[in-house]
């Protein structure tokens, strides 16, 4: 279970789903967000708490920033040769969505992990300047990182026709990056899947055609 991309109203969308699944005693694997346990007022944390108190079997997965954002959300920047984000010099242990999917599968097909929460990360913390260099080397195109502030970022997203509410939400979630909180590295993917998480180099090589398009 996860909140669809483009939406911010996690409570109104997800709480009815939890209630319906709990009534039917359906196990829930919830894709939350890394770091939400630091603030009990965070809507994602409130969804976690509702799931924990629902009485149904569950596992909570908290992935870090997706490597896949580079060929989805930030693809326009890569096409233009500049990735402009309000991340300053903060680092993130980018995780490949395939490793999130594998982790979710592992928790769905076994009851060994029920009732537990896992922080999912990639194998190393990288800044966006590092990420730009990796992608640049892989697709053989000059890519640079441009650190901007929140307002400039929101204005850029609005020009890309991103709704203002969602643009403001995306800007807000870069605060933990700037604070260094997303540099965390865990062994959760390896423990759940018995395989090491993919590096950003592997991600870039596997998605080179999409990054070049």
pLDDT in tens, the chain (213 residues): 998 877 778 899 999 999 999 999 999 999 999 999 888 788 889 999 999 999 999 999 999 999 999 999 999 999 999 999 999 999 999 999 999 999 999 999 999 999 999 999 999 999 999 999 999 999 999 999 999 999 999 999 999 898 999 899 899 999 999 999 999 999 999 999 999 999 999 999 999 999 997
Query: Residue 82 falls within a domain, yes or no?
Result: yes
Domain assignment present for 3 = no
Residue 2 within a domain: no
Look at residue 171 and tell me if it is in a domain: yes
CATH number at residue 77: 3.40.50.720
Q: Is residue 4 part of a domain?
A: no
Boundaries of domain holding 175: 10-212
Quickly list DSSP for 74-140: THHHHHHTEEEES-TT-EE--B-HHHHHHHHHHHHS-STTTT-EEEE--SS-EEHHHHHHHHHHHHT
Total domains, the chain = 1
92 is a domain residue: yes
What does pTM read for this prediction?
Answer: 0.94
């Amino acid at each position: 279970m996860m909140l669809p991309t483009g939406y911010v109203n996690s409570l109104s969308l997800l709480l009815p789903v939890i209630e319906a699944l709990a009534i039917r005693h359906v196990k829930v694997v919830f894709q939350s967000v890394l770091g939400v346990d630091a603030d009990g007022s965070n809507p994602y944390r409130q969804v976690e708490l509702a799931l924990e108190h629902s009485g149904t079997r569950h596992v909570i997965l908290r992935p870090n920033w997706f490597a896949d954002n580079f060929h989805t959300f930030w693809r326009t920047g890569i096409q233009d040769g500049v990735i402009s984000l309000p991340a300053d010099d903060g680092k993130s242990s980018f995780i490949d969505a395939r490793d999130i999917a594998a982790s979710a599968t592992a928790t769905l097909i076994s009851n060994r992990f029920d009732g537990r929460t896992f922080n999912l990360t990639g194998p190393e913390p990288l800044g966006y300047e590092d990420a730009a260099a990796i992608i640049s080397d892989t697709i053989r195109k000059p890519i640079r990182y441009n650190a901007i502030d929140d307002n400039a970022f929101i204005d850029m997203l609005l020009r890309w026709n991103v709704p203002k509410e969602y643009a403001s939400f995306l800007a807000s979630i870069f605060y933990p990056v700037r604070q260094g909180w997303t540099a965390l590295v865990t062994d959760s993917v390896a423990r759940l899947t018995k395989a090491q998480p993919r590096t950003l180099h592997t991600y870039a090589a596997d998605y080179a055609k999409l990054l070049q398009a």
